Structure 1
Amino acid sequence: MSSSTIVQTHNLSKTYEAVNRVNRVNLHVQEGEIYGFLGPNGAGKTTTLKMLLGLIKPSEGTIHIFGESLSKHRPSILQRTGSLIESPSYYGHLTGLENMKVMQRLRNVPDKNVDEALRIVRLENQKDKKAEQYSLGMKQRLGIAMALLAFPKLLILDEPTNGLDPAGIGEIRELIKSLPARYGITILLSSHLLSEIEQIATSVGIISEGKLLFQGSMASLQHESRTSILLKTGDNVRAEKILLARAYSPARMGSRLKFANIADTEVAEMNRLLVEHNVPVTRIEEQKKSLEDIFLELTGKERSL
């Protein structure tokens, strides 16, 4: 395993009542990444993250974090790991600061860490308010502050924007994006929100029904969605014949002709050819797949995320 690999699993699996909730997943998370673990609800994201933290025992496979086997070195690995799984855990009758002090004793870290973590999540001015009086977004930020308390090398966040309003989602997103450069933290982040992963992650893994369908950089995933041009004319049959004769390769798509990976100069040339042959061009559209389009293609099914 590369020295820069923070998380690596091999054939990681979890079976409940003969059903594979996680099926032979091979994760690779590199140092300094924001790794977006993407999939619909019930895909196996939370189960996978719980196995990475030793909260659930795998049915099969191995886990290495920081180059060490989780089964052999769990205490030392967890000392360098922070996590927020499913929802923040806190004492409602205690203030934000008092909750942080409880976690401080568990993690055995200095007072300055408490102050810094609260400042990072912008709760320093609300630290004396009881946690039960916090808004949902503030509770989520408190949970992240607790996870950051020891300033871990690895931060695992399970659906950190779940249930937040757009303003809260934006706050958490900007917070997460700042952590690798400012504090050297590698982040493994799960979500079913496609737009969030697209905006925040540098690498992505797509899981569905327990199987890892794609893994790679965000740039490589977006590369799979090269721009296409859709052309609509007054006579698509003639247009297709004319363009085929000039070595263009249109595909039929309903009432339009589709051209993949084509340059702007070629689009202009096709338009000129058709006009010269008295074929009216009524519409030229650029089509680029969204992350959702790619997800649906990978899973091969139309399903709600």
Structure 2
Amino acid sequence: MTEMISTHKLSKQYDGVYRVKDLDLKVYEGDIYGFLGPNGAGKSTALKMLLGLVKPTDGRVNMFGKEFGANRLCILENTGSLIESPSYYGHLSGLENMRVMQRLLNVPNRNVDEALRIVRLESHKGKKVSQYSLGMKQRLGIAMALMGFPKLLILDEPTNGLDPAGIQEIRELIQSLPQRFGMTVLISSHLLSEIDQIATKVGIINNGELIFQNSMDSLRARSKRTIALRTQNISEAKSILQKNRFMPMHQDDYLIFEDIPDEQIATINQLLVTYGIGVTRIEERRKKLEDIFLELTGKVSSL
């Protein structure tokens, strides 16, 4: 697979404190890469280093297989970005703002029209941006990032402040980009639920360090199945099961079995009934992704 972004020990210090330390990102062509971490974890600083907006203290950045410093202009020509919040002239219309960016990017008129259509702003392009809602301003920022139809799109918290309908719109838009336009997307967020629904691969950063990087399926696989069983006599049930080589954990009013096959659940149920122990509840439980995130970062999933 083609590496779109590869960093090696990328680091940034401010006043002797690391905001990002030894970051090794790997983003491949066609990925929707979710860059996840609590607020203040170093996400924006890392993205700014990828775009040359912040000079690294140490480490290397390669994009499209090329070293960033020596190929900066070529790389940025093929990269669209929205970092922190969209920049715009409030006294100009949405279309006029797009024209300003068009001149900078030197792209044809059809790109402007298509980008506005993609983010569903065609009918509002004549309105002053100062009159736009927050969601419309975010969509305009994404349209500006899309205008050159880049190979790589980097979005920093693009759903910040949006209502549920706006979040859903942006989510559907981002999910469509790899297939429709062949784009690779790197999107940062502090919301696990957002990344879970949109990303194919995830990197989790905490205190400036990358603590997890793999596919979303790999993260979900950490959510092992457990079976919780409640009986009319927990102590007696546990004793009977231990004598028959089952070793459940006693948690609250339940006996807990980790990753046990259905056939053994049926055997356990039948065994207890045979000994006259009434089984009142059998539940399948899975660890929530939020719990996994908490274990990895020591923080709640949305701050």
TM-score normalised by structure 2 residue count: 0.96
1:290 maps to a residue whose letter is K
- Evaluate the alpha carbon distance shift between residue 99 and residue 302 of structure 1 in structure 2; reply closer, same or farther with a 3 A threshold: closer
Segment drifting more, 102-111 vs 279-288: 279-288
- Evaluate the alpha carbon distance shift between residue 223 and residue 212 of structure 1 in structure 2; reply closer, same or farther with a 3 A threshold: same
Q: 2:224, 2:259 within 8 Å by CA — same for their partners in 1?
A: yes
Q: Distance in 2 between matches of 1:215 and 1:138?
A: 32
Q: Distance in 1 between matches of 2:72 and 2:57?
A: 17
2:95 alignment counterpart: 97
Q: CA RMSD in A?
A: 1.4
**Superposition map of 1:73-92 within 5 A:** 73-92=71-90
1:151 alignment counterpart: 149
1:116 alignment counterpart: 114
Name the % identity: 63
2:23 alignment counterpart: 25
Q: CA deviation at 1:252?
A: 2.7
Whether 1:282 aligns to 2:280 is yes
- Evaluate the alpha carbon distance shift between residue 158 and residue 303 of structure 1 in structure 2; reply closer, same or farther with a 3 A threshold: closer
- The number of residues matched between the two structures is 303
Q: CA deviation at 1:302?
A: 5.5
Secondary structure of residue in 1 paired with 2:123: coil
Q: Distance in 1 between matches of 2:20 and 2:118?
A: 34
For residues 194-234 of structure 1, the C-alpha deviation after alignment (integer angstroms, 9 at most, x for no partner) is 11100000000111111111110000100011221112222
Q: Distance in 1 between matches of 2:204 and 2:219?
A: 10
Q: Distance in 1 between matches of 2:178 and 2:234?
A: 52
Q: Distance in 2 between matches of 1:118 and 1:138?
A: 11
2:182 maps to a residue whose letter is G
Secondary structure of residue in 1 paired with 2:122: coil
Segment drifting more, 199-208 vs 267-276: 267-276
1:200 alignment counterpart: 198
**Superposition map of 1:168-207 within 5 A:** 168-207=166-205
Q: CA deviation at 1:16?
A: 1.1
Segment drifting more, 294-303 vs 73-82: 294-303
Q: 2:234, 2:255 within 8 Å by CA — same for their partners in 1?
A: yes
For residues 151-197 of structure 1, the C-alpha deviation after alignment (integer angstroms, 9 at most, x for no partner) is 00000000000000000000000000000000000000000111110
Secondary structure of residue in 1 paired with 2:62: strand
Q: Distance in 1 between matches of 2:301 and 2:208?
A: 15
| Structure 2 portions without partners, runs of 5+ | none
Q: 2:151, 2:183 within 8 Å by CA — same for their partners in 1?
A: yes
Segment drifting more, 272-281 vs 105-114: 272-281
Q: CA deviation at 1:35?
A: 0.4
For residues 26-76 of structure 1, the C-alpha deviation after alignment (integer angstroms, 9 at most, x for no partner) is 111111010001111001111110110010011111111101111211111
Choose the corresponding residue for 2:128, options 116, 127, 130. Answer: 130
Secondary structure of residue in 1 paired with 2:12: strand
